Structures are given as structure tokens and as C-alpha cells.
Amino acid sequence: MIALIFAIVCSIILFNPHIKWWIKTGAGVYYAVLTYFFNTGRQEIEDKYHYKGPIEVYWDKNSDYVDAYYGFFTIPFMVLLIYSYYLWLKHCKTKTQKFWIVLSIIPVGLLFLWLSILLGMLGYRP
């Protein structure tokens, strides 16, 4: 799930020729480091609390951990999407290009919403 978000962010940034190379590199490094620490921390919580006591304790710790990282994944992702679309629209040469770019905002926005909900649900109890 986190790898899917990372792949989408990388593809959106890499395919936009108007974003500077240092922004692309910074976003890639940011999400790589964030993904590593997030997965490492969740694994530690699972090793420490899962199957070693009441399941409620595990889910409470897991929920708190996911809530702590939720904004670090979604807010920069949203900012990068908005910035990417702004640059694409700014550099449009025809109205047809602008139409297709604006039309693509709908599925990308729905995908962002879906991924945000799925990431937020990582911390909820079953």
C-alpha cells in the first residue's frame, strides 16, 4: 500500500517535464526515507505487541503510529499534485491540451482520495 503511493508520487513527478530536477530528487528521497521509517516502525510494533498480549493494545499502538505518519504522506502528496497540475496548465499551448489536463484531475483526485482513505485505515481495528 505504501509502495503504491510511493510509485504514484514518483511517476507523477518524473513524467512532468516542468518540475525541476532538485524537486524531483527531494521528493523521491523524502518518500523513500519516510516509507522506510514507517515500515520499520510498524514492524517493530507488530513484533512487540502482536500475539504477545491483548490484541487491543496492538491495535491502539498501531492506530497511534499510523495517525502520526498520516499527514507526512498525504499533505506533501497533495501539494506535489497541485504543483504538478499548476505547471502543466501553465505551460499548455492549446485549449485541447488544457481540457485533457483538467479532465485528468478527476480520476487523479479520486485516486488520491482512495489512497488517503486506505492509508488512514491502516491504523483502525478490524
The cell numbers describing 116, all together, are 488517503
What pLDDT, on the 0 to 100 scale, is given for residue 2? 62
Taking alpha carbons only, the member of 37, 39, 36, 62 closest to residue 49 is: 62
Measured CA to CA, the distance from residue 48 to residue 17 in angstroms comes to: 45
pLDDT category at 112 given cuts 50, 70, 90 is: confident
Taking alpha carbons only, the member of 120, 126, 90, 96 closest to residue 2 is: 120
**pLDDT tens digits, one per residue of 76-101:** 888 988 898 899 899 989 999 999 98
Predicted TM-score (pTM) above 0.85: no
Confidence check: pLDDT of 5 > 70: no
Q: Which residues of 63-83 are buried (b: 16+ CB within 10 A; e: fewer)?
A: eebbeebbeebbeebeebbeb
